[in-house]
Structure 1
Amino acid sequence: MAFIIGIGGASRSGKSTLAQRLKEELAPNRVFSLDMDEYVFDEKDIPHIKGHPDWEVPESIDYKWVEHTIRENKSKYDVIIVEGILAFANASLNAQYDLTVFMEISKKTYFERRRLETRWGKDPEWYLEYVWEAHLKYGQYPEADFILSGESTLKDADLAPIIQKIRATHP
């Protein structure tokens, strides 16, 4: 059975970077990384705010599909990493995590990084503020096993206690 890790935090906090680093560090274990951005409902099926798709609310994620994917892969992989801004917004999913990591960044850093984001074009300032507020409402997870700073580049020392705990509980 796979060891399941949940990684959450604000947009641009370093969740995907952490997931990739863990995948590298855990080799030669078989690691499946699940990016929740791939599990959103079709744009027409999610809430909208001021004409924009609202990717920032739990109703935008197909959690049944996420859980189905985890079930399908539990016996195929040693470790499953689930990462996303709404990784901790669903109680059923939270109950499956063996270990949780919350990536913490300041509002200032979030705004600096999001203003540089160009994948979806330039977002209006009101939307950037909305995304931050949604993170505060849906994305927090004070019960996380580890809270890491996403303010700067992850160091090996940041990863060491996480890797140690994974190996101690799931050799």
Structure 2
Amino acid sequence: MSFVICIAGGSCSGKTTLARHLQHRLGADSCMAIRQDDYYFDIRERETNSELPNFDVPEALDFKKMAEDIAALKNGEPVALPNYDFVTHQRRLPSEPLEPRKYIIVEGLLLLNAEEVRPLFDHSLYMKCSYEERFARRLARDVAERGRTEDFVHKQFHEDVEPAHQSFVAPSAKYADEVIHQSEYVNDLTGLIDRVVELLPKDELEQPTPQMRLAL
């Protein structure tokens, strides 16, 4: 049965970077990654009054589908994972069915808040990161990668992202097996990965990678 690792935390707290490098460390043949972001409902399925709906609240996400997919993978069944387009806010065609791996990394800001998926995690981490750092990273990412304007990012972060963080994301840290203070590892991602790997079944792990910096 697959061992499922949850990486949760606020927007731009370092979750995706940790997930990507941890997957590399464990090896593509032994590890796969699932993004919470791919489980957003298609914007056409959500009521909207011409403005973008709030994407940082639990009801924006199809956690029922995510729970079904994770459970199927843990049972050894192949799954076609969803694929979400952040430019159009619509779901693309799903991936080809993927065979489960020994390790499954699931990353996303609301994972530990979601009762549907929380029981499926074998080990969970919460990435704790300052407000200032999260906002700076969000601004840089959304302008560069998602075609947003700076004004839009400021408005969305302060009206949607941060209120949701305080209401749903930050309180969910109490469900984590371990809270990681991102500032302690910003210059030593390898040390953080070593710490996580120590908690996992030990066979089939690749050798440590060179020292890396925790960034976006």
TM class, shorter-length: 0.7 to 0.9
Q: Paired residue for 2:163, among 110, 123, 133? A: 133
Amino acid corresponding to residue 142 of structure 1 in structure 2: K
Rate the CA distance shift 1:154–1:144 in 2: closer, same or farther, 3 A.
farther
Rate the CA distance shift 1:25–1:43 in 2: closer, same or farther, 3 A.
same
Which residue of 1 is the match for residue 137 of structure 2?
113
Q: Deviations over 1:74-119 (max 9, x none)?
A: 2232111111111112113111111001111111111211222221
Counterpart CA distance in 2 for 1:49 and 1:97 is 36
Contact 2:32 2:103 in 1 (8 A): yes
Report how far residue 33 of structure 1 moved.
Answer: 0.5
Query: Within the alignment, does 1:163 sit opposite 2:197 as a pair?
Result: yes
Query: Within the alignment, does 1:43 sit opposite 2:72 as a pair?
Result: no
Amino acid corresponding to residue 165 of structure 2 in structure 1: H
- Between 1:57-66 and 1:139-148, the stretch displaced more is 139-148
Contact 2:70 2:120 in 1 (8 A): no
Which residue of 1 is the match for residue 18 of structure 2?
18
The runs of 5 or more residues in structure 2 that have no matched partner are 77-99, 206-216
Structure-to-structure mapping, 1:33-72, within 5 angstroms: 33-46=33-46, 51-72=51-72
Q: TM-score with structure 1 length normalisation?
A: 0.88
Contact 1:14 1:150 in 2 (8 A): yes
Report how far residue 154 of structure 1 moved.
Answer: 4.6
Rate the CA distance shift 1:120–1:84 in 2: closer, same or farther, 3 A.
farther
Counterpart CA distance in 1 for 2:108 and 2:165 is 11
Counterpart CA distance in 2 for 1:100 and 1:48 is 34
Contact 1:46 1:59 in 2 (8 A): no
Counterpart CA distance in 2 for 1:159 and 1:124 is 31
Rate the CA distance shift 1:28–1:44 in 2: closer, same or farther, 3 A.
closer
Counterpart CA distance in 1 for 2:188 and 2:132 is 19
Q: TM-score with structure 2 length normalisation?
A: 0.71
Counterpart CA distance in 2 for 1:66 and 1:132 is 24
Report how far residue 15 of structure 1 moved.
Answer: 0.7
Which residue of 1 is the match for residue 176 of structure 2?
144
Report how far residue 20 of structure 1 moved.
Answer: 1.0
Amino acid corresponding to residue 126 of structure 1 in structure 2: K
Q: Deviations over 1:113-165 (max 9, x none)?
A: 12222214122423211301201211121231222233424522112221011
Amino acid corresponding to residue 59 of structure 1 in structure 2: E
Q: SS where residue 111 of structure 2 aligns?
A: coil
The runs of 5 or more residues in structure 1 that have no matched partner are none
**CA RMSD in angstroms, aligned pairs only:** 2.4
**Count of aligned positions:** 171
